[in-house]
Homo-oligomer: A and B are copies of this chain.
Amino acid sequence: MVVVMRGGASDADVTKVVKAISEVGGDAFVSRGKNQTIIGLVGDLAQFTELPLHAFPGVEDVIRVSKPYKLVSTETHPRPSTVWVGDSSIGRDTVTLIAGPCAVETEEQTEQGCRMAKEAGATILRGGAYKPRTSPYAFQGLGEPGLDILHGVSRDLDLPFVTEVVTPADVDTVAAKADMLQVGARNMQNFQLLKEVGMAGKPVLLKRGLTATIDEWIMAAEYIAHTGNLQVVLCERGIRTYEPMTRNTLDVSAVPVAQSLTHLPVIIDPSHSGGKRELVLPLIRAGIAVGADGLIVDVHPKPEAALCDGPQALVRDDLLQLRETVQRFAGAAGREVATVDRQRREGAWGRSAATA
């Protein structure tokens, strides 16, 4: 951390900072210039963070130069980790396709959507039983019956599924059936939810908040990790910008940046970021090319009838192209498309984390 003193700061002001740092066990190095003095702090960042240095007399600015996360950081754990969801994995060597309907509407639609997903090469299914909706008048999801439908379809198709949980009270119910719990963009800083999801012991898919910095996103993963659960997958799903032509702006740079800072897998959501069907395949290509470890894609047997996010779902005709696109760009990126592995998890992080 660096403390920048104001132009007119006195020696006593500088001393006060140095003293406070040494009292919490850190070292402070003073760089004294003609016009400006800056103080470099080395030691345990967490302690300094609690010091209200900003409010010290003569202090102009306090700049954090090291990262606040620990458990999920590449500094503590340089080797990329693989997260296992049932017999399906998400990790740095493969491209994993997660697909399914945005919302569970009926058993038939869910079954058809998930079957489409499997045909397209998905190794993990997705579907929403609890939907966070901007309007109280919009379809809120089927809730527990939706969960049962998903569970049934997942077992029929012999593929694990991920589904969103929107509030702490539902965590146990959802965790009892789902293979992976999703924390949505709007809940990325719902800290109680992060804690409870972490404690449920299932792998977690953590979407980036609509306007979260990469640091805040990784810090949200640290909340989950802090409960002892390191099976977290980060998902970039588009950030809010001034551009009105796309629903959100998919921040592809966030993928390599996050991968350099954390050992967790990072995937992208091409459906919710673009908000238009014709953007889904181009964004899938971009996501795999930039190095994403996987994709989560909306499919719908009949988007014209979809109760939620119809415009961006891929339809039956797109599936062959989806499968082929993932195949081709994974190849270009030097990766294999992930497949289900029944002899799984030997030596993987998920396992070692569980046994550590």
Question: Which residues from 227 to 256 on chain A have a C-beta closer than 8 Å to any C-beta of chain B?
Answer: 239-246, 249-256
Q: Is the CB of A289 within 8 A of B329?
A: yes
A133 contacts partner chain B, Cβ-Cβ < 8 Å: yes
Q: How distant is the Cα of A288 from the Cα of B285 in the complex, in angstroms?
A: 9
Q: Is the CB of B213 within 8 A of A192?
A: no
Q: Is the CB of A36 within 8 A of B56?
A: no
A310 contacts partner chain B, Cβ-Cβ < 8 Å: yes
Q: How distant is the Cα of A36 from the Cα of B63 in the complex, in angstroms?
A: 14
A145 contacts partner chain B, Cβ-Cβ < 8 Å: no
- Number of contact residues on A: which range applies? 35 or more
Q: How distant is the Cα of A139 from the Cα of B250 in the complex, in angstroms?
A: 33
- A339 CB contacts on chain B under 8 angstroms: none
A103 to chain B, nearest CB (A): 11
A114 contacts partner chain B, Cβ-Cβ < 8 Å: no
Q: How distant is the Cα of A150 from the Cα of B12 in the complex, in angstroms?
A: 36
- From A38-46, A89-97, A173-181, A345-353, give the one contacting chain B: A38-46
Q: How distant is the Cα of A286 from the Cα of B282 in the complex, in angstroms?
A: 9
Oligomer copy total: 4
Q: A27-B33, A75-B35, A167-B193 are in contact. Are A283 and B253 (CB under 8 A)?
A: yes
A156 to chain B, nearest CB (A): 27
A80 contacts partner chain B, Cβ-Cβ < 8 Å: no
Q: Is the CB of B245 within 8 A of A274?
A: no
Q: Is the CB of B304 within 8 A of A56?
A: yes
Q: How distant is the Cα of A302 from the Cα of B98 in the complex, in angstroms?
A: 43
Q: Is the CB of A63 within 8 A of B66?
A: no
Q: How distant is the Cα of A255 from the Cα of B333 in the complex, in angstroms?
A: 20
Q: A31-B42, A52-B304, A52-B305 are in contact. Are A256 and B278 (CB under 8 A)?
A: yes
A29 to chain B, nearest CB (A): 4
Q: Is the CB of A190 within 8 A of B191?
A: no
Q: Is the CB of B52 within 8 A of A42?
A: no
Question: Which residues from 162 to 213 on chain A have a C-beta closer than 8 Å to any C-beta of chain B?
Answer: 166-169, 186-187, 189-193, 210-211, 213
Q: How distant is the Cα of A132 from the Cα of B187 in the complex, in angstroms?
A: 12
Q: A214-B245, A274-B253, A331-B332 are in contact. Are A132 and B189 (CB under 8 A)?
A: yes
Q: Is the CB of A134 within 8 A of B216?
A: yes
Q: Is the CB of B246 within 8 A of A257?
A: yes
A209 to chain B, nearest CB (A): 8
A344 contacts partner chain B, Cβ-Cβ < 8 Å: no
A104 contacts partner chain B, Cβ-Cβ < 8 Å: no
Cβ-neighbour of A239 out of B213, B219, B243, B333 (below 8 A): B243
A32 contacts partner chain B, Cβ-Cβ < 8 Å: yes
Q: A243-B213, A310-B54 are in contact. Are A68 and B133 (CB under 8 A)?
A: no
A324 to chain B, nearest CB (A): 11
Q: How distant is the Cα of A130 from the Cα of B66 in the complex, in angstroms?
A: 27
Q: List 6 A-B contacts (CB under 8 A).
A: A55-B277, A136-B219, A136-B226, A239-B241, A256-B279, A286-B286
